[in-house]
Amino acid sequence: MEEKRSPYLKHITVCTHEREAGKSCCAHRDGEKILEKLKAYVQEHGLKGKARVNRSGCMDLCEQGANVMVAPDHRWYSGVTVESAEQIIEEHLKPLVPGTGGSGAAAPGTIKAFLFDLGNVLVRFDHMAAARKITQGTGAAPEKLFEMFFESPLVVEHDTGRISTRQFYEEVSRQIGMRLPYERFLEVWNDIFVVDEAMNRLVERLLQEFPCYLISNTNRPHFEYLRTLCPVLERLNGWILSYEVGHLKPNPVIYHRALEIARLKPSEIFYVDDRDDLIQAAHSMGFQTHRFGGFEGLAADLAARGLPNGQ
C-alpha cells in the first residue's frame, strides 16, 4: 500500500444508487442531475485538481435522499434537490474559485474586525533569494534549502516554537553543510521581505474604523525583523503568531485563539490570506474570507461589501 497526500481540498460524493421498483432511492430523487450540476460547476470554474465530485453507492439513508457528503467538512446533506444543490456549491465550492473570496459566510454589514495574514499579504518574500545567499560557496544546492523553508518538519518545529532559532540554524547547517556564522545567517535569512505599501495603507485606513489583527505562521526572528520593516504591525490590535500559539494555520487552535483575542464570532471577522487551504479552513469555521491575489482584488471585494478599501 502506498500513502499519498490527496490534492483535493473538497471531495463531494453524491448517492445515485437505484433500488428495486417501489423503494425510495437517490436515483429516483435526481441523484444524477445533482451529480451533473456539481460536476459542471467544478468544470466551468476551473476547479479540477481542487475539488472532486463522485457518485457513490447507497448511504443507507434512502428515505431521505438525495444524499450528498462533503469531505473534509464532515457535512452530510439529505433531501437535496437540484435547486438546493446551489447551497452546497455556495458553501463548499465557490470559496475555492480565485477572486470570490468565499463570500457568503455571513451577510455584509456584520463585519466587526479584520484578520490579516502576513507573508504575501502585508509583505512579499522570496525564500529562494535567501537560499541562494546562504548556500553561496558551500557547494550545497539552494533548491534543497529552499525546500526546507516550506513546511519541512524542521520549519514546522521552528514555526511552532518547539525548537529555538539556534537549534534551527544548527540543524540547517548540518543538513546542507552551511558555514555561515549565526549572526550572518539571521541577516541573510531575514533579508527576503519587501513591504506591500498599498496593503499597508489599506490596513491603516481600516484601522480608523475597525480593530485589525494579524495571524501568521512565522517564527520569532522573522517577526521581530518585520516589526522594524513594517510599522503598521505595531498599530494592530493583536498578533496571533504560530510560534507563540504552538500551532500552524490551518489548525483550528490558532483560529480559535484569534476569536478569543478579538472576542468576536467567526462570522464577524473578515479574514484575508493568500492560501486556498487556509481560506478554506477558516471559511468552514464561519469566518468571512477573501483569498488574497493582490491589492486590486481585495479592494474590489471590500468596495462590493460597502467597506473602506483605501482608494
Restricting to residues 170-199, which ones interact with ligand FES according to CB under 6 A?
Answer: none
User: Given the complex with ligand FES, which of 67 and 135 has the nearer CB atom?
Assistant: 67
Stretch that binds ligand FES, among 18-26, 122-130, 161-169, 219-227 (CB under 6 A): 18-26
Are 123 and 105 contacting, i.e. CB atoms less than 8 angstroms apart? no
Q: What's the closest the beta carbon of residue 15 comes to ligand FES, in angstroms? A: 3
x/- binding map, residues 29-68, to ligand FES, per CB under 6 A? -----------------------------xxxxx--x-x-
User: Given the complex with ligand FES, which of 26 and 262 has the nearer CB atom?
Assistant: 26
Q: Which phi-psi region, left, alpha or beta, contains residue 175 (left: φ > 0; alpha: ψ -120 to 50)?
A: alpha
CA distance 23 to 17: 11
C-alpha cell at 54: 463522485
User: Given the complex with ligand FES, which of 79 and 108 has the nearer CB atom?
Assistant: 79
Rg for the chain, CA atoms, rounded? 23
Q: What's the closest the beta carbon of residue 208 comes to ligand FES, in angstroms? A: 53
Restricting to residues 249-278, which ones interact with ligand FES according to CB under 6 A?
Answer: none
Residue 25 sits in the site that holds ligand FES (CB under 6 A) = yes
Are 236 and 144 contacting, i.e. CB atoms less than 8 angstroms apart? no
Enumerate residues 6+ apart whose C-beta is below 8 A from 52. Answer: 8, 10, 11, 12, 42
> Residue 176: which of 221, 219, 131 has the closest Cα?
131
Q: What's the closest the beta carbon of residue 76 comes to ligand FES, in angstroms? A: 10
From residue 279, how far is each of 37, 150, 206, 250 by CA, in Å? Answer: 24, 18, 20, 8
Q: What's the closest the beta carbon of residue 60 comes to ligand FES, in angstroms? A: 6
Stretch that binds ligand FES, among 12-20, 141-149, 160-168, 212-220 (CB under 6 A): 12-20
Q: What's the closest the beta carbon of residue 19 comes to ligand FES, in angstroms? A: 6
The binding site for ligand FES (CB under 6 A) comprises 15, 17, 19, 25-26, 58-62, 65, 67
